Structure formats: structure tokens, C-alpha cells
Amino acid sequence: MTIIIADDHPFTLQGTQSFVESYGYQVIATCANGVSALNMIQLRQPDIAILDINMPALDGLDVAKKVYELKLRTKVILLTMHNEMTIYNKSKEYGVYGYILKEHAQVELKNCLSEVAKGNQYVSDSLLNDLVSVRETGTGELDKLTFSERKIIELIAQQKTSKQIAEMLFLSEKTIEGHRSNIIEKLGLPKEKNVLLKWAMKNGLE
């Protein structure tokens, strides 16, 4: 298993390299910028490339994009300070295998490497938790629902029709109907008339 690491922060680079090597992997090269990283990947064809995103010249995403476009065999793991879904979403377009945050590298890097080595994808838990972390925790059941679904069931509790709900949320009636059936499914409710209203009343959502 050959690995290349690229990071423009020498301490971080060093730390990463010692982590990776402590897990028993062979670091064949380290780079301080994106351009040399890409060159090295093309030259050495490592199994895995651990890339920082913010780097001079080419950034990690650019390198990942090139690797993807050049159909290189190297699997890209992004190791970054950016706890951003948008960037993660972008990286998925370039077939990035792993996305982990630097502050959790000690915890996550090992798992990530072994998953990616198996050919699986690995995404930092804290990234996925970022958006839901501020959510108020109400009834346990409600946690299963998305924000939109919870909004809809609140409105259902106010005895609003699908049409009214659609108007209030700037959505189409069809979308609301779709959400309704999703909610019923998620909550494991029987398919009967006004089941959502009854459930909402029972759970005191009004």
C-alpha cells in the first residue's frame, strides 16, 4: 500500500505522515503544494493520496479533479479544516473516496485509510453531524424526520390541507404528498385516513 501526502503546512504534513506510518502504511512521497502532488501522483501512481484542500497553485480539489479526469488509479482522501457539506458535495463529483477533518484526524484517519483501502468511501462523522448538531431534540420519533418533514407535520397538526401547506411553504402539492408518504413510512404508521393528523395530535404538536 503506497501513499502520497500533500499539505502546505509542514507541521500538519509531518503529523499526518507519522500517523499514517504508525498505522503501518508506506508513505512514498510528501508534497508542499498541489502541483508537485499531481506530478508525484502521475509519476508514482500511489494507491492513496492524502490531500489538503487549501494549497498554493493547485488545491486539493483541483488535484482530485485531475486524477478523476485522467482516470488514475490513485484513490483521493481529502484531509481538511473545511467542515463544509458544499465542498464535500463537490468532491463527490470527482470520485473522492474519503473526506475527513484535520481536528479529528487522530481518531478518523485510521478507519478512513482501512475503509478506502478496501475500496469503500469514508466521510467524517463530524461533517455529517454539522448540520444536525444544533437541532433541538424533541420526541425521539421526530428525530427521524428531516426539517421539511417536521415542518409539514406541524402544519398538519394545525389541520391544514396539503394544498394550504404547499402554498405556505412555497412548494407544490405533489411535493407535500410525497413528504406525507415519506413521513408515514419513516414513522411506521398504518396506511389509513388522517393517520398523520391523529399521530400529530397524539404527540402534542399542535
State in angstroms the smallest separation of the CB of 151 from other proteins.
Answer: 5
Residues from 177 through 206 that contact other proteins (CB under 8 A): none
Side-chain-side CA neighbours of 31 within 13 Å: the count stands at 28
What does the DSSP 8-state code read for residue 97? Answer: -
Distance in angstroms (rounded) separating the CA atoms of residues 7 and 37? 9
Sign of the Cα pseudo-torsion (163, 167, 173, 178, in order): negative
| Binding segment toward other proteins, per CB under 8 A, in 23-31, 39-47, 86-94, 192-200 | 86-94
Cβ proximity to other proteins: between 10 and 45 the closer is: 10
State in angstroms the smallest separation of the CB of 191 from other proteins.
Answer: 26
Phi, psi of 197 (to 5 degrees): -60, -50
Note whether 170 binds other proteins by CB under 8 A: yes
The number of residues that bind other proteins (CB under 8 A) is 31
Distance in angstroms (rounded) separating the CA atoms of residues 184 and 175? 14
Note whether 102 binds other proteins by CB under 8 A: yes
The answer to whether 74 touches 44, Cβ cutoff 8 Å, is no
Residues from 112 through 151 that contact other proteins (CB under 8 A): 131-132, 134-135, 147-148, 151
**By rule CB under 8 A, what string of x and - marks binding of each residue 46-85 to other proteins?**
-------xx----x-x-------------------xxxxx
DSSP helix/strand/coil, 54: coil
State in angstroms the smallest separation of the CB of 59 from other proteins.
Answer: 8
Q: Are strands 98-101 and 122-123 parallel, antiparallel or unpaired?
A: parallel
Give ∠ CA 109-50-133 in degrees, rounded to 5.
Answer: 50
| Binding segment toward other proteins, per CB under 8 A, in 23-31, 37-45, 163-171, 182-190 | 163-171
| Binding segment toward other proteins, per CB under 8 A, in 25-33, 114-122, 167-175, 189-197 | 167-175
The answer to whether 116 touches 96, Cβ cutoff 8 Å, is no
Distance in angstroms (rounded) separating the CA atoms of residues 124 and 77? 11
Residues that bind other proteins (CB under 8 A): 9, 11-12, 15, 53-54, 59, 61, 81-87, 89-90, 102-103, 131-132, 134-135, 147-148, 151, 155, 168-171
